[in-house]
Amino acid sequence: MEADFVIIGAGSAGCAMAYRLAEAGKSVLVIEHGGTDAGPFIQMPAALSYPMNMSRYDWGYQSEPEPHLGGRRLATPRGKVVGGSSSINGMVYVRGHARDFDHWAESGADGWAYADVLPYFKRMEHWHSGGHGGDAGWRGKDGPLHVTRGPRANPLFQAFVDAGRQAGYETTDDYNGQKQEGFGPMEQTVWKGRRWSAANAYLKPALKRPNCDLVRAFARKVVIENGRAVGVEVSRGDKVEVIRARDEVIVAASSVNSPKLLMLSGIGPAAHLAEHGIDVVADRAGVGQNLQDHLEVYLQMAASQPITLFKHWNIFSKAMIGAQWLFTKTGLGASNQFESAAFIRSRAGVEYPDIQYHFLPIAVRYDGKAAAEGHGFQAHVGPMRSASRGAVTLRSSDPNDAPKIFFNYMSDPQDWEDFRTCIRLTREVFGQEAFKPFVKHEIQPGADVQRDDEIDGFIREHAESAYHPCGTARMGRRDDPMAVVDPEARVIGVDGLRLADSSIFPRVTNGNLNAPSIMVGEKAADHILGRTPLAPANDEPWIHPDWQNRQR
């Protein structure tokens, strides 16, 4: 059991690296604790609320009680399956805003500005506009990852965009192109009616090569000899063994499990490791720190017409949709139903969008429970750049114990102001002429919830994670005491060890994290192979010309 490269985790970044390293002729072993992604629960896009809530596919993590959210523990799903979280996510495809990556570079991730990462986004994509416009010149045409747009057949999808325009906002034909800001179509990692996870896009083609293999095992720690990573200690069945790496070990186990693995391997804050009786290999204060996420609320409206997806919220209709999907990969089962989106700025003086909308033509929760009121629709809304920071720490030195995940949500006073703004701006959009034929009344928070303290109470009770945890092994310069990896994804203080997944984000990007996580795997693969990175792009992103003075 040895290879040139051993990758821990068959998730978004791990699958991309396996593909690129194997393509370059290196021998690769990918360690994955989860099982197969076969079967309709994962492969059928509309079934997305199932795998996220199935212990078979999810690590089942929860946050510690969150003091600013009334002591609630929030679900923190992470994929425990081939494809990782790309096999249980909502399939929404968002690159992130150009300025997000420029900020990474400014904070010490040299070579990761937007100009540097745009060529990797293009390399990974196979973009299909479906004849619906878009910025073809900004998009990739022949990458492994298929990106499509939903049919937007339900009139509510267009009503959302029209209402945004009526409220005075920009529209955008392609938020992944030159102009993120505005209302427009949402993109999804769905291809030919199937979830196009990192497993389907990258890992399955890689495994067809003789030099790439998947090992079903539980990674316990990285084995380090004389300051160099030489392998991974795993348990398989009741045996503990070591899988050896001739060149390098690559950790890509998620922003929750990657820092946990580093700490179990002796890399992390020395005092915390000592507390758990772990010998310190490299004292890195930043391991597990800088935890960030997106929090959101669902603003729900009751519909005055029976045009929402609620008419399918019964066992007979679900069976019909499932059967149509199974036999033809078409119909409502072939979309995640997130088909309209928006990115807006919360106030004048904010340079680029800091609020994201997912619009859904049914009033339903992520756990699959429909609103009691029947026909309705909702917008998921939340701020993009909260200043709140949390941490992932060890519960014990036993690899089988879940780590402690503490987000410290809403700990920054600005978060409350930003969330109130989100709710008020959303109500204004739903109040536009375009929604007049469809709106009956507001289900949640409810029209009587108006004062700041009432809105705050609603947020405290109902805010949910958008499942975008990141930042727990931040990338930065080698002399930065809080950086964990350098700009080539090398773990600082240990030789032969890299880490590449959403853990390395210096700051959370705008929108959903699957696309930037895959991009990190793509770019890290070039660093691992010692290649010159792709030439920077010089495309100029659109920024609102009067952002200093105008909110829209």
Residue 404 lies in a domain: no
Same domain, 42 and 133: yes
Same domain, 209 and 347: no
Residues 145-168 as b/e (b if ≥16 CB within 10 A, e otherwise) read bbbbbbebebebbebbbbbbbebe
Same domain, 228 and 318: no
Mean pLDDT calculated for residue range 94-111: 98
pLDDT reading at 544 higher than 70: yes
pLDDT the model gives residue 366: 67
What confidence tens digit (pLDDT) does each residue in 321-339 have?
Answer: 999 999 999 999 999 999 9
State the DSSP code for 191: E
Tally of domains in the chain: 2
Percent of the chain having pLDDT more than 90? 95
* N- to C-terminal Cα separation, the chain: 58
Residue 59 to residue 61: CA distance in whole angstroms? 6
Residue 279 to residue 496: CA distance in whole angstroms? 19
Mean pLDDT calculated for residue range 258-271: 98
Same domain, 279 and 316: no
427, 443, 462 - which closes a domain = 462
Same domain, 345 and 265: no
pLDDT reading at 197 higher than 70: yes
Q: Tell me the C-alpha to C-alpha distance, in Å, between residue 528 and each of 99, 270, 287, 490, 524.
A: 26, 28, 21, 9, 6
Secondary element (H or E) of residue 503: none
Residue 364 to residue 310: CA distance in whole angstroms? 9
Residue 500 to residue 109: CA distance in whole angstroms? 13
Residue positions counted in the chain: 552
Cβ contacts of 383 within 8 Å, gap of 6 or more = 294, 295, 346, 354, 355, 415, 418, 419, 422
The burial of 120, by beta-carbon neighbours within 10 Å (0-12 exposed, 13-18 middle, 19 or more buried), is given as buried
Same domain, 85 and 224: yes
Residue 123 to residue 169: CA distance in whole angstroms? 31
pLDDT reading at 220 higher than 90: yes
Catalytic residue among 103, 380, 468, 544: 468
Q: Do the Cβ atoms of 300 and 444 come closer than 8 Å?
A: yes
Mean pLDDT value across the chain: 97
CATH code, domain with 135: 3.50.50.60
Same domain, 197 and 274: yes
Residues 62-88 as b/e (b if ≥16 CB within 10 A, e otherwise) read ebbebebbeebebbbbbbbbbbbbbbb
Same domain, 334 and 269: no
Q: What is the dihedral of CA 365, 369, 375, 381, to 10 degrees?
A: 0
pLDDT reading at 302 higher than 70: yes
Task: Find where tokens 């519909």 sit.
Answer: 303
Same domain, 379 and 362: yes
Residue 269's domain comprises 1-62+76-149+188-288+471-536
What the block records as the tokens of 279 is 């010998």
Same domain, 204 and 272: yes
| 211 known ligand binder | no
Q: Residue 245: beta bridge partners? A: 3
Number of alpha carbons in the 13 Å side-chain half-sphere of residue 72: 15
pLDDT reading at 372 higher than 80: no
Angle at 94 between CA 464 and CA 511, to 5 degrees: 35
| 176 known ligand binder | no
What confidence tens digit (pLDDT) does each residue in 236-253 have?
Answer: 999 999 999 999 999 999
| 92 known ligand binder | yes
Same domain, 161 and 83: no
Extended beta strands in 139-294, E state = 145-149, 182-185, 187-188, 190-191, 194-195, 212-216, 218-225, 228-236, 239-251, 267-268, 282-283
Known catalytic residue at 468: yes
Question: What is the β-pairing status of strands 194-195 and 190-191?
Answer: antiparallel
Same domain, 238 and 324: no
pLDDT the model gives residue 365: 76
CA 425 vs. chain centroid, Å, equals: 25
What confidence tens digit (pLDDT) does each residue in 374-395 have?
Answer: 899 999 999 999 999 999 999 9
Q: Would you report the helix, strand and coil content of the chain in percent, each value rounded to 5?
A: 30, 25, 45
Q: Do the Cβ atoms of 356 and 294 come closer than 8 Å?
A: yes
pLDDT the model gives residue 53: 86
CATH code, domain with 311: 3.30.410.40
Residue 403 lies in a domain: no
